[in-house]
Copies of this chain bind each other. A is one copy, B any other.
Amino acid sequence: MNVAGGKRGRITIHDVAAAAGVSISTASKALNETGRMSVETRERVKRIAGEVGFRPNALARGLLSKRSFTIGLLTNDTYGRFTLPVMAGISEALVDHGVSVFLCAIEDDPALGQIHVDAMLEKQVDGIIATGKRLDRQLPVDLSNLHVPVVYAFTEGTPASVTFRSDDAQGARLAVEWLVKMGRRRIAHITGPEDFFSVRERAGAYRNVIGGEGVVMFGRWAEAWGHEAVAQIWSRQDEKPDAIFCGNDQIARGAVDALRERGIRVPEDVSVVGFDNWEIVAGQTRPPLTSVDMELKELGRQAGLTILALAEGRPVEPGVRKLPCRLVVRQSCGAQSPRR
């Protein structure tokens, strides 16, 4: 048995026109609220269009208008941790404008990237948003000389482009200032590999707030590293920290676990703040982690609105736009609720 929902004769505007007893031009104008005709004719055409289930063919429409109401989202973030919220924001912003999104995961493969870009261009996308998993890396594909607008979100762009990124320094400041406000004075910073731009930004902001060098431990983006770093700190003779600002939630979780294993209470003895606000990690840690949220959905929303503006020919100032982070307070720092 065949399951194909047989596309037996799609209904076109010709069918509507015939059923309404008018010409196709009149039908078109009736449905698009353009042209001149009697109210009755317009209503009748619209009613009949609804009855026969007419759906305008976006291909034909796009061919003429040179707008496909389609954009492409290019990403190399296979795991989707960053891409998914960005995608959600884009989609939310554009669905009202009738724009659909092609999602293209290109790993780190330039050839695959080119294939996807070519496919998108053939399909006449109105624009392309590039996103990734790292602020300081470009996607492995050249988007600089396309004849459609390109916007970069959470990935390194070209100099003359529009780029959206999180304000990591501000986010880190938020975290450290919060710890200070909770009365903590000896704050350590356990974070990821130093060659990440975000890591340097966050560490820089951390040093600025605490006013001095502080304790910065660079490592890997892994729970094991958080665990290990705490072990290192507590094996030394120095005075122990009363707070730890972690470079991401996974490190924070490892740190919290290591502290608990040592009988050190979180948040009573040591406060911990994470970064990313990755629900699955921050929410499941015991106690749940206070963490910095990069507002990736909002970032996606703005990227979506920007690509729309460019597609419609509205001018947009190029440059890098830093979006503020937000501190999400859970229980790993103590009970006080955040100042509003």
Contact = CB atoms under 8 A, between A and B. Distances in A.
Interface string A93-135: 0010010111111000000100110111111100000000000
A183 interface: no
A274 interface: no
Contact of A7 (B66, B69, B84, B116): B66
A73 B105 CA distance: 14
Contacts of A88: 78, 105
B284 A250 contact: yes
A58 B123 contact: yes
B58 A122 contact: yes
Given A95-B115, A105-B88, A1 B315 contact: yes
A3 B70 contact: no
Nearest to A60: B63
Nearest to A280: B280
A339 interface: no
Contact of A62 (B59, B91, B121): B59
A37 B2 CA distance: 40
A212 interface: no
Contacts of A8: 147
Contact of A147 (B5, B124, B284, B311): B5
Contacts of A103: 73, 87, 91, 101-103
Interface residues of A, number: 76
Contact of A3 (B57, B87, B318): B318
Contacts of A222: 284
A120 to B, nearest CB: 7
Contacts of A121: 55
Counting chain B CB atoms within 10 Å of each CB, the highest count among A66, A280, A311 belongs to A280
Interface string A277-289: 0011100101000
A59 to B, nearest CB: 5
Given A123-B59, A146-B5, A104 B91 contact: yes
A175 interface: no
Given A1-B315, A160-B3, A223-B284, A105 B91 contact: yes
A215 to B, nearest CB: 24
B105 A70 contact: no
Nearest to A72: B100
Contacts of A161: 3
Contacts of A310: 3-4
A316 interface: yes
A101 B100 contact: no
Given A5-B147, A55-B118, A222-B284, 4 more contacts: A2-B316, A3-B317, A7-B147, A100-B104
Nearest to A284: B223
